[in-house]
Amino acid sequence: MTDAGGEPKHSGRALAALRGLLAAGLERPDGRLPSEPTLEKRLGFSRQALRRALEVLEAEGLVWRNRADALFVNLPERRDAPLSPVGGILEARLRLEPELAALAALRARPEDLRLMRLCARREKAAGDLDARELWDGALHRLIAVAAANPGLLAAFEALAAARAGDAWRGALEAADWRQVSGLHGVGDHETLIDAIAGGDPEAAAAAMRAHLLTVAERAAALVEGRAR
């Protein structure tokens, strides 16, 4: 597709589609990709947009061409994660959620705050780990909603999906859930919600950071206690 001036468009979308194709796995055991005309037809982008997108993947070393110009996929090099899965999740939450809390402090409506406090009460009253985590997750999501930025909410939900079935939950489940009731001190979430209600973004971000670190420290102590 080209615009009036003849410039191609949508190479970025073609690139995203090709990344999806690579992530979904190969068509042929030898790693050969479909030909450009086939890709063009199947993905619905212009030849030029596809060629440009393939140039990026070639530069990144993810695809290469043989001497006959046929395309092949390189398996991406496995990157050693610098952190354990649990550490990676904590790191990600510590980078994203204080930013969301700061925006929520600027934008939360009384109804948002009422719902946050309701979640905190229900979490406190929960009788098992499943219910506790459910209301905890709902509370953290309400903070992301109150931040009122659709792109950041999408980012929060992608991170939450990456956490589902993660090592963190597995480690907690291996521990006695009755001990896990100590993970949130009684006041932790109330303190966090008060900071958001206070309307000061810096204070809200700091409260979120402190909250996540406290939970992580208690979880680590619990999991280590179990391992001993």
> Long-range CB contacts (< 8 A, 24+ apart) of 185-189?
185/214, 186/124, 188/214, 188/215, 189/119, 189/120, 189/123, 189/124, 189/136, 189/139
Of 69, 16, 70, 68, nearest to 45 by C-alpha is: 16
Nearer to a copy of itself, 188 or 201 (CB): 201
Nearer to a copy of itself, 5 or 29 (CB): 5
Name the segment binding a copy of itself (CB under 8 A); options: 30-38, 125-133, 184-192, 217-225.
125-133
Nearer to a copy of itself, 27 or 173 (CB): 173
Instruction: Note the maximum CA span of the chain.
Output: 69
Our finding on whether 130 is near a copy of itself (CB under 8 A) is yes
Among positions 105-124, residues that touch a copy of itself (CB under 8 A) are: 107, 115, 118-119, 122
Question: Is residue 104 a contact partner of residue 196, using CB atoms and an 8 Å limit?
Answer: yes
Our finding on whether 9 is near a copy of itself (CB under 8 A) is yes
Our finding on whether 162 is near a copy of itself (CB under 8 A) is yes
3-state SS class at 81:
coil
Name the segment binding a copy of itself (CB under 8 A); options: 30-38, 85-93, 182-190, 207-215.
85-93
Q: Give the chain's end-to-end CA distance (angstroms, integer).
A: 62
Question: Is residue 113 a contact partner of residue 224, using CB atoms and an 8 Å limit?
Answer: no
Residues found near a copy of itself in the complex (CB under 8 A): 3, 5, 7-13, 15-16, 49, 52-53, 55-56, 59-60, 79, 81-83, 88-89, 91-93, 95-96, 99-100, 103, 107, 115, 118-119, 122, 128-131, 133-135, 137-138, 142, 145, 148-152, 154-164, 173, 177
